[in-house]
Amino acid sequence: MSRKRPIYEGKAKVLYEGTEPGTIIQYFKDDATAFNAQKRGTIAGKGVLNNMITEFVMSRLAEIGIPTHFIRRLNMREQLVRKVEIVPIEVVVRNICAGSMAKRLGLEEGMKLPRPIVEFYYKDDDLGDPLVSDEHVLALGWASPEELEEIVGYSLRINDYLCGLMRGIGLKLVDFKLEFGRLFDNEFSQLVLADEFSPDNCRLWDAITNEKMDKDRFRRDLGGVEEAYQEVARRLGVLPES
Ligand code: C5P
């Protein structure tokens, strides 16, 4: 039996060497962590749903001209993606104040922001992914000025598109986290959207009831975690038949 070679195991995914040169297989686990892995658990079936939801979102974004690392879904838990060099910043876009922003600034969760806010966090688990400014990103060379401009431009376009898509299925896109990577072609590099888009890394509230339909149900012990992920997949039309 041929076994794929693991390259990296993260909190919610395992990366294996891909079947074609320059590719990687993303395997979606059911494991869930929160608060920088201080809280751990599993969400039954999450990996399958996040694989489907990410495939759906990445495919729609490619259609509107956002370059992504996604190639194709391989099976229920795996997708083939391009191998990229990850830009070491997490980009968070916020439409409604929640989570760490509400806590940091003493604001009420649920406050609609006058315009989307883009934040950068330095990707470093040991430091707990600290909030940084564009000055840090540029001065410390984590991205070039051209790359940072492109990252912000793509992030806002993704936000515009996904806000509309979610509104159409009765969900408010409160905030989300993106990661970008570099694809190399000789001396040129192209920036592409990488990682995943799922209820693990966004906040989605029901448009009518404001019920949380994302990982906050796990973080805050609200119950109904599996059901919330399933409902998001169902509304997007990607719930696998059981
Ligand atoms: O915790 P905070 O309010 O900063 O999170 C903002 C958004 O980014 C949330 O949708 C959260 O799920 C996501 N996030 C993430 N990975 C992190 C930190 C935040 O996906 N390491």
Q: Is 217 in the pocket of ligand 1 (CB under 6 A)?
A: no
pLDDT of residue 213: 98
The per-residue pLDDT for 1 is 43
Q: Give pLDDT tens digits along the chain (242 positions).
A: 456 899 999 999 999 999 899 999 999 999 999 998 999 999 999 999 999 999 999 999 999 999 999 999 999 999 999 999 999 999 999 999 999 999 999 999 999 999 999 999 999 999 999 999 999 999 999 999 999 999 999 999 999 999 999 999 999 999 999 999 999 988 899 999 999 999 999 999 999 999 999 999 999 999 999 999 999 999 999 998 76
Please tell me if the CB atom of residue 100 comes closer than 6 angstroms to any atom of ligand 1. yes
CA 138 remoteness from chain centre: 23
Q: Decide: 53 and 45 in contact? Cβ < 8 Å.
A: no
Distance 202 CA to ligand 1 centre (A): 7
Q: How far apart are CA 91 and CA 180, in angstroms?
A: 8
> Using an 8 Å Cβ cutoff, are 196 and 13 in contact?
yes
Contact in structure between 54 and 70 (CB atoms under 8 Å): yes
Q: Measure 109 CA to ligand 1 centroid, in angstroms.
A: 14
pLDDT of residue 185: 87
Domains and CATH numbers, the chain: 6-82 (3.30.200.20), 85-223 (3.30.470.20)
pTM for the complete prediction? 0.97
For ligand 1, atom 21, name the residue with the nearest CA: 129
Here the ipTM equals 0.99
Predicted local confidence at residue 3, as pLDDT: 67
